[in-house]
Amino acid sequence: MFRKNLILTLALSLAAISPALAQSTGGLSKVNVETTAGSAGAALFAAKGEGFFAKHGIDANITLVNLMPNFPPALVAGSEDVAFMVTTTFLQAIEGGLDLVAFAGGSATSHKLSPEAVIGATGTSLKNPPDFIGKKVGVPGIGATLQVMFRYWLDVNHVDSEKVKYVEVAFPTMRDQLAGHSVDAVVATDPFIAQMVNTKAGYVATTLNQVIPENLQLVMYTSTRDWAKSHPKEVAGFRAAIVEGAAFAKANPDKTKDDINVYAKLPAAVMKSVEIGYQLPELKPEMIAWWIDAMKQQHMLNTTPDVTKLIWKAP
């Protein structure tokens, strides 16, 4: 409850001092986008790098933000127009009183890929669910999808997920936190998994995708409802660019990795081993509803929002 109130307080205070920033630039509509540098955003980075945003009238200004809980306040403040936000943070912000919507899907769960994993610090021997009892595990945000997935994995394997200590660790600092043994493990996605494993800071203790149903939205393109309502052309153009970006990422994974690395800035050898997340621009209520049930079981949500009202459809 404290985190939800904090998100709402930050959002309202920032909104008082920050103007909306969408504007026209050289015939293109400028849209400020916040994201992390993870491979889950492959369609976003491909859409930027391959010119799909410009094709659809969008000048996408991409900013990297390390911790997911920072995303909702930035949207409400107007310092960002679109956030590539994990579904669970989105739902917590809704329960906290923010009027946000999702207008395109990003990365979704898939049993064919393994881009979500728990990385144990080198020198530890973490593998089975009971091994994590009492351990300190870094997550990219309290309430983030990766934390919910990890807790779900523990719970379905009959280990009380509340017996693990969770701390927020930004993706770019996970390798150093593991190497310094500030945490026993982290829950991560690529390209950060590849970075940690390739530099021998850690090892894959377990993957998480196999225990989660397929085609659930992990991350979505979100905005405030007011922004979506007042920028129908930008929403349509952004969505169209993401659809093209997703198709490009599937057909051209190596070039997409180059597009991601413009922002991730990892060694070429590390980036080459990255597994690109499953890009699914489609949004359906059932892709979000599962997270609500899981979060309520983990005492991260108290209410059941109407998912149909959270998916933006132009009037």
pLDDT for residue 65: 84
pLDDT in tens, the chain (315 residues): 434 444 544 444 444 434 434 444 568 999 999 998 777 899 999 999 999 999 999 999 999 987 777 899 999 999 999 999 999 999 999 999 999 999 999 999 999 887 789 999 999 999 999 999 999 999 998 888 999 999 999 999 999 999 999 999 998 899 999 999 999 999 998 889 999 999 999 999 999 988 899 999 999 999 999 999 999 999 999 999 999 999 999 999 999 999 999 998 888 888 888 888 899 999 999 999 999 999 999 999 999 999 999 999 877
pLDDT for residue 18: 41
pLDDT for residue 211: 87
Model pTM score: 0.83
Are 305 and 292 within 8 A, CB to CB? yes
pLDDT for residue 184: 98
Domain ranges of the chain: 2-109+215-309, 116-211
pLDDT for residue 158: 96
pLDDT for residue 25: 53
2-109+215-309 CATH pick, 3.30.1600.10, 2.60.120.10, 3.40.50.1220, 3.40.190.10: 3.40.190.10
- d(C-alpha 283, C-alpha 106), whole Å: 9
Phi-psi map region of 264: left, alpha, beta (phi>0 left; psi -120 to 50 alpha): alpha
- d(C-alpha 115, C-alpha 39), whole Å: 8
Residues 166, 167, 173, 174, Cα dihedral to 10°: -10
Task: State the amino acid at position 313 in one-letter form.
Answer: K
pLDDT for residue 38: 77
Question: What's domain 116-211's architecture?
Answer: 3-Layer(aba) Sandwich (3.40)
